[in-house]
Structure formats: C-alpha cells, structure tokens
Amino acid sequence: MERFLLRSAALATAFTAVSCAATSNDPGASKPIESETSVILQDPVGLWGSKEQGQPWLELAEDGKLTGSDGCNRLTGSWNASEDLQFDALASTKMFCEGVDDWLSRAATAKLEDGNTMLVLDADGKELGTLAFGGKGS
C-alpha cells in the first residue's frame, strides 16, 4: 500500500509539472522581466566606444542625430533604427592623423550584439569594427 501511495504521489507530481510546462506558452502566462541588456538592444541612444584620445566613438542622440570621431576626424550625421541601425548623411572632417585607422568614417549600418557591442558595417555589408557601449548621458 505504501508503494502505491508513493507511486501515486510521483505520478501526480509529474502530471502537474507537465501540465504547467504545457501552459507556459499561453498569452496570459507571466513573461520574464527585461534585463538591462535587452533595453540597450531596443534603445541604442548613448555613447558607443571611448572618448579617449585617438579612440573611435559614436554618440547617438534621442532626436536621431549622431556625433563622433574615428579617433582623429570628427563625425556628424543622423541615425535611425529598424532591424539594424542606419547611418544617414554621415560627414567627416578630413584631417590626417598618423597611425589612426579611419574605419568608422565609412560606417553605413550597424548591428547591436549582446546589448553591449555595436558591430559597424560599410555600405557593402562588410564588417569594419566594433564599439562597446559606453553608457547613456555621457
């Protein structure tokens, strides 16, 4: 009799676990709270890169404007987001700085990866480089 009760309890527990798992996809089921990372993925506004001397960076403003530097030349333009980030009317000064790679001045689009890395691409979709998220309101 004791074995019967233990088996019944085990079956009841298993049935409850299976039925809960089956209903977890219901629209009314609770959803996980968005993490800081997923918020950054949805809202790219802020500093990307580092404003240290000679380092590339972009700062995306809420109004769709961007400013930045390729480490030597100043960058200005606008941005918008759909699936990826699009950089429009990107303009750059044309100073020569020895030893500085001007890859960021060729940016056309970008993808946000893991919420804290911006993968920058040229107009042909070729990978140019990455910028780490530096924070909001810098």
Secondary structure (DSSP) of 66-111: EEEESSSSEEEEEEEESSSEEEEEEEE-----TT---GGGG--EEE
Q: Does residue 103 register a pLDDT over 70?
A: yes
Handedness of CA 124, 129, 132, 135 (dihedral sign): negative
Per-residue pLDDT, 36: 41
Per-residue pLDDT, 33: 38
What is the spatial distance between Cα 77 and Cα 18, in angstroms, rounded to a whole number?
A: 54
Per-residue pLDDT, 109: 96
Kindly indicate the confidence band of residue 122, based on its pLDDT and cuts at 50, 70 and 90: very high
Per-residue pLDDT, 30: 38
Per-residue pLDDT, 50: 94
Q: Does residue 112 register a pLDDT over 90?
A: yes
pTM across the whole model: 0.66
Write down all domains in the chain, each with its CATH number in brackets. Answer: 36-135 (2.40.128.270)
What is the amino acid identity at position 70? D
Tens digits of per-residue pLDDT, 25-80?
Answer: 444 443 333 444 333 346 899 999 999 999 999 999 999 999 999 999 999 999 99
Q: Does residue 102 register a pLDDT over 90?
A: no
